[in-house]
Amino acid sequence: MASRKKPAPAPRSTAGRKDAPRRGIGGEPQHQAGGAHPTMTTAQGIPVPDNQNSLRASPRGPGLLEDFILREKITHFDHERIPERIVHARGSAAHGYFELTRSLSKHTTAKVLTEKGKRTPVFCRFSTVAGGAGSVDTPRDVRGFAVKFYTDEGNWDLVGNNIPVFFIQDAMKFPDLIHAVKMEPDRGWPQAGSAHDTFWDFVSLMPESMHMVAWAMSDRAIPRSLRMIEGFGIHSFRLVDAEGGSTFVKFHWRPKLGLQSTLWDEALKLQAADNDFHRRDLWEAIDRGDFPEWELAVQLFTEEDAERFPFDHLDPTKLIPEEIVPLTVIGRMVLDRNPDNVFAETEQVAYCPANVVPGIDFSNDPLLQGRLFSYLDTQLKRLGGPNFHQIPVNAPKCPFAHHQRDGHMQMEVPRGRVAYEPQSLDPEGPRASEARGFRSFAERAPDDARKGRVRPASFADHYSQARMFYRSQSAIEQDHMAAAYTFELSKVGTPHVREAIVGHLRHVDEALAQRVADGLGMDALPAAPDPAAPILDLEPSPALRIIDRMKDTLKGRSIAILVAEGSDRAQLKALKRGVEKAGAHVTVVAPKLRIRLADGKAMDADAQLAGTPSAMFDAVASVLDPDEAARLARDPGAVDWFRDAFNHLKAIAACGGTRKHLFAAAKIKADAGVVEPADVAGFVDAAKGRFWKRSAKQG
Ligand code: HDE
């Protein structure tokens, strides 16, 4: 059992006192803090007499092999790591609940989707895809959005992403895709990034990836907060009703805080400032009671509806625009508890798209079909055997009973002699139930069904939705996409790969292709490949943007106020109170952690300026004594603090000293996004959005 007390300080060195045998810390008791504490034991329960010194034959050695306490401790430590996930290795998670607000009883028997008002416990894990577990939180990447619902009818896992489509159409290509995006095997970089030759080489030869690549180059791939991302089940699933009838369904999570992304420069600076930016943001929000919330919405459609779509809904590189099939909100998810232990829960949680409950079934999407195999397979290795469902975070919270037995790390002690079925010896043994059991939708195979390794003709259109996505973006978001393609391709050393991508982009949008070609310094536009199907000009879908979908609120936002020696306490207080009242979290930043304000009294800041760049906040303010502002204007870090806030299009409440000295040093010309700190209401209002007009001026 782990003691919750502060650890004892490191033992003092006995160097220079070779003769003095010592126990513990200078022979003193090791635990300073008072109160009762459990006696430390080995894993076998043997009390440990000394946790500082190994057993020696004499005070200066040698060590003794019989020291079972040392050996046990080191052996366990040696085995503390398990294989990290081959994808989605870096994750952060939280517990919470799902509450159904609208019943889907017309379409499904699944209780989790029919019992209105019922709260089902969930465990939700967010992740980046490409980087290893020790990589950073803010690379340009897709985010995983996996939810385990502990329903009364067993666990249902909705294992999705924050982008509604995927790179490939067939599971056969997944290992290739991941090998291409991960670190190049001969050199071991880049970590957590797609801006390199092998990724772009692969996608340049896989036109089906063009739609998802467009999403990955959009602001969706650099979210501001995990609390502000959407989630998508991607594939069509089936809902199955009591009569065995079926409706197709796509699942969407929509964040209550609205959607928000960072600018690319901001994401880069966040990487330098805080590798754990997203996990910290999620953890801290939950810790202070700002529970993130999402709506669960569904798109429901029939086989006949699907036949009218200008694409095949079984192709996971396609989405169904909300304008064609509207979203119906059916519930909400609230994440209200941080994990107690990251390894036990976030690392050991095992999601699997094959975990569905009666009333929910799969579609024939070939990517989904491959996933149904992969997750259990990978978990057998990652979690060391077939009993990982017994790990608390994975165990169902409803009763379960089966005849599976033994295996590595069996934690249960099944009773009795019967571990088979049919059987007549144990009247209480579990039996299958036709009435309650999971029933697959009795889909009829088409009359002309033939076995074969084929791609249906209905999957051949690779560009129309990429075009639709690009054309649905606002002009600012299109600028960001053009810049992202240019940046990523500028990191590709192989000219023919760059050219192939620009060729594909001509099918997405000729002007986009031209901008990227210009950015890369190409003399002429490369030829576009022959498309396998006619490219359609689909109606744009404004719902696919982010910028208009930032909520007009300070709730969930984070604001910094910069103070220094001699700052005015009353003004700081008024600003802080006003911003907090509007729902934002305030961090008081200062050049030193303890400063003396104008009233002569000391104050502790929350963070030190040098380690807390303005990129970490949604808006910033300053309350500075003019002399201090003049002094700070000679500190490049302080000047960058304002320059970045301005260039990242954020509202700034700037005091007179800041305008005079720091703005001058940062060459900032105040605009509508710059207000007086005394104008608390004006700042609260300005801080709700970004000042996009500045980005137009930046060109
Ligand atoms: Fe995954 N994916 N995936 N994936 N996936 C895994 O399972 C795989 C795909 C997704 O937080 C692995 O336990 C294949 C689509 C998430 O623990 C692995 C294919 C979507 C997570 C695996 C896909 C996802 C994973 C790695 C193509 C969005 C993290 C470790 C056929 C709908 C879950 C693990 C967590 C994890 C395989 C494609 C989402 C290897 C073969 C599409 C969110 O089994």
Q: For residue 397, tell me if it sits in a domain.
A: no
Minimum CA distance residue for ligand 1 atom 43: 144
Question: What pLDDT digit, counting tens, does each position of 65-102 carry?
Answer: 999 999 999 999 999 999 999 999 999 999 999 999 99
598 and 541 in a common domain: no
577 and 524 in a common domain: no
Q: How many Cβ atoms sit within 10 Å of the Cβ of residue 40?
A: 17
Strand pairing partners for 154? 151
Relative to the CA of 127, which ligand 1 atom is closest? 11
Q: What is the per-residue pLDDT for 32?
A: 57
Averaged pLDDT, 367-379: 98
* Residue ranges of E strands in 186-245: 231-232, 237-240
Relative to the CA of 175, which ligand 1 atom is closest? 41
**Pick from 309, 289, 331: which is nearest to 111 by CA?**
331
Ligand 1 pocket, 166 CB below 6 A? yes
Averaged pLDDT, 22-47: 71
Minimum CA distance residue for ligand 1 atom 28: 160
Relative to the CA of 161, which ligand 1 atom is closest? 28
Ligand 1 pocket, 88 CB below 6 A? yes
570 and 501 in a common domain: no
Q: For residue 31, tell me if it sits in a domain.
A: no
130 and 84 in a common domain: yes
**Pick from 85, 130, 673: which is nearest to 378 by CA?**
85
pLDDT band at 654 (very low <50, low <70, confident <90, very high): very high
Minimum CA distance residue for ligand 1 atom 19: 371
| CATH at residue 229 | 2.40.180.10
Q: For residue 595, tell me if it sits in a domain.
A: yes
673 and 563 in a common domain: yes
Q: What is the per-residue pLDDT for 698?
A: 55
Enzyme catalytic residues: 88, 161
343 and 471 in a common domain: no
Question: What pLDDT digit, counting tens, does each position of 293-329 carry?
Answer: 999 999 999 999 999 999 999 999 999 999 999 999 9
| pLDDT > 80? residue 696 | no
Q: For residue 426, tell me if it sits in a domain.
A: no
pLDDT band at 7 (very low <50, low <70, confident <90, very high): very low
The DSSP-derived string for 115-148 is STT-EEEEEEEEEESSS-TTS-S-SS--EEEEEE
Question: What pLDDT digit, counting tens, does each position of 589-641 carry?
Answer: 999 999 999 999 999 999 999 999 999 999 999 999 999 999 999 999 999 99
Ligand 1 pocket, 171 CB below 6 A? yes
| CATH at residue 678 | 3.40.50.880
User: HEC states along 601-622?
Assistant: CEEECCEEHHHCCHHHCCEEEE
Q: What is the per-residue pLDDT for 550?
A: 84
What is d(CA 604, CA 594) in angstroms, rounded to the nearest whole number? 5
Rounded distance from Cα 161 to ligand 1 centre (Å):
9
Q: What is the per-residue pLDDT for 28?
A: 45
Q: For residue 439, tell me if it sits in a domain.
A: no
Q: What is the per-residue pLDDT for 27?
A: 44
Domain boundary among 366, 390, 414: 390
Ligand 1 pocket, 144 CB below 6 A? yes
Q: For residue 42, tell me if it sits in a domain.
A: no
Domain boundary among 547, 578, 612: 547
Ligand 1 pocket, 380 CB below 6 A? no
Ligand 1 pocket, 374 CB below 6 A? yes
**Pick from 126, 193, 224, 125: which is nearest to 546 by CA?**
224
Rounded distance from Cα 352 to ligand 1 centre (Å):
8
Q: What percentage of residues in the chain have a pLDDT greater than 90? A: 92
Domain boundary among 390, 416, 446: 390
Rounded distance from Cα 597 to ligand 1 centre (Å):
53
Q: Is 371 annotated as a binding residue?
A: yes
Question: What pLDDT digit, counting tens, does each position of 322-331 carry?
Answer: 999 999 999 9
365 and 340 in a common domain: yes
Q: What percentage of residues in the chain have a pLDDT greater than 70? A: 95
534 and 562 in a common domain: no
Rounded distance from Cα 146 to ligand 1 centre (Å):
9
Cα-to-chain-centroid distance, residue 43: 35
378 and 229 in a common domain: yes
| pLDDT > 80? residue 655 | yes
Relative to the CA of 375, which ligand 1 atom is closest? 44
Residue 158: which domain range? 68-166+202-390
**Structure tokens given for 396:** 């169902």
pLDDT band at 549 (very low <50, low <70, confident <90, very high): confident
| C-alpha angle 379-254-689 in degrees, rounded to nearest 5 | 125
| pLDDT > 80? residue 227 | yes
Q: Which amino acid is at 300?
A: L
Q: What is the per-residue pLDDT for 24?
A: 42
pLDDT band at 33 (very low <50, low <70, confident <90, very high): low
| pLDDT > 70? residue 29 | no
| pLDDT > 60? residue 547 | yes
**Structure tokens given for 637:** 């870090």
- Domain total of the chain: 3
Rounded distance from Cα 611 to ligand 1 centre (Å):
35
Minimum CA distance residue for ligand 1 atom 20: 160
513 and 476 in a common domain: yes
Rounded distance from Cα 554 to ligand 1 centre (Å):
34
367 and 261 in a common domain: yes
| CATH at residue 526 | 1.20.1370.20
Averaged pLDDT, 221-249: 98
Q: For residue 377, tell me if it sits in a domain.
A: yes
Q: Is 238 annotated as a binding residue?
A: no
* b/e 335-353 (16+ beta carbons within 10 angstroms → b): beebbeeeeebbbbbbbbb
657 and 574 in a common domain: yes
pLDDT band at 469 (very low <50, low <70, confident <90, very high): very high
pLDDT band at 159 (very low <50, low <70, confident <90, very high): very high
Q: For residue 424, tell me if it sits in a domain.
A: no
